[in-house]
A and B are shown apart, each in its own frame.
Chain A
């Protein structure tokens, strides 16, 4: 049963520390999304890749966030330095052009 895998599932870190979240998309999918979910803002699109190329990262705070796809089996989202306002659930999703996106279980990040 193919699924998107995210690690870690939970992360507690101190303000100022670097956080790296990883995502393994479903094999054969050519689009990858990073979303952030909070009670106040709902689901926000942070970054969008197609064929490993970044197409849209306008929703991402550029000064501290970065998203990459070093290869087709790995997507990463980094926050450096982290701040308490970054506390949220971060979701990775993958799909094919024009089709539905399949979501991972998310990384629950708490910055203290």
Chain B
């Protein structure tokens, strides 16, 4: 079975500082990895994905994530946080070898950027 862990329910960062939202995953094969963002009363918006290739993936709104196979992690990062980045962030995984499995999401991390 595939699973995702987001160990922090909430992350607080001052505006202008770098931010990291942590994600670790578990799959039996090789992973597809994704980050999504959700604003209040909205659906999830896709930020970025890792399929293959470079371990550092760049996405929307200045976000990036680093795939680390040995640590089974896919942490989301941004060099300089904006107040508008405050939202709920979800990490998701799919096992490449198991086409019948849907996307499995973590519990989500509330990111709060303080002015």
Q: Which residues of A contact B99 (CB under 8 A)?
A: 50, 55, 97
Q: Which residues of B contact A99 (CB under 8 A)?
A: 49
1/0 per position for A39-83, CB-CB distance to B under 8 A? Answer: 000110100101000011000000000000000000000000000
Q: Which residues of A contact B46 (CB under 8 A)?
A: 100-102
Instruction: Pick the residue among B42, B45, B49, B105 that contacts A43 (CB under 8 A).
Output: B105
**Interface residue count on the B side (C-beta < 8 Å):** 23
- Once the chains are docked, how many angstroms separate the CA of A13 from the CA of B99? 36
Asked if residues B51 and A98 are in contact (CB atoms below 8 Å), the reply is yes
Q: Which residues of A contact B26 (CB under 8 A)?
A: none
Shortest CB distance B71–A (Å): 23
Asked if residues A56 and B43 are in contact (CB atoms below 8 Å), the reply is no
Asked if residues B44 and A45 are in contact (CB atoms below 8 Å), the reply is no
Asked if residues A56 and B100 are in contact (CB atoms below 8 Å), the reply is yes
B56 in the interface, Cβ–Cβ < 8 Å? no
Instruction: Pick the residue among B43, B102, B104 that contacts A105 (CB under 8 A).
Output: B43
Interface of A (DSSP majority class)? strand
B77 in the interface, Cβ–Cβ < 8 Å? no
Asked if residues B103 and A45 are in contact (CB atoms below 8 Å), the reply is yes
Q: Which residues of B contact A103 (CB under 8 A)?
A: 36, 43-45
- Once the chains are docked, how many angstroms separate the CA of A4 from the CA of B65? 26
Asked if residues B90 and A43 are in contact (CB atoms below 8 Å), the reply is yes
Q: Which of A45, A55, A101 has the most CB of B within 10 A?
A: A101
What are 13 A-B contacts defined by CB distance under 8 Å? A43-B90, A45-B102, A45-B104, A48-B100, A50-B100, A55-B99, A55-B100, A91-B43, A91-B44, A93-B44, A101-B46, A104-B43, A105-B43
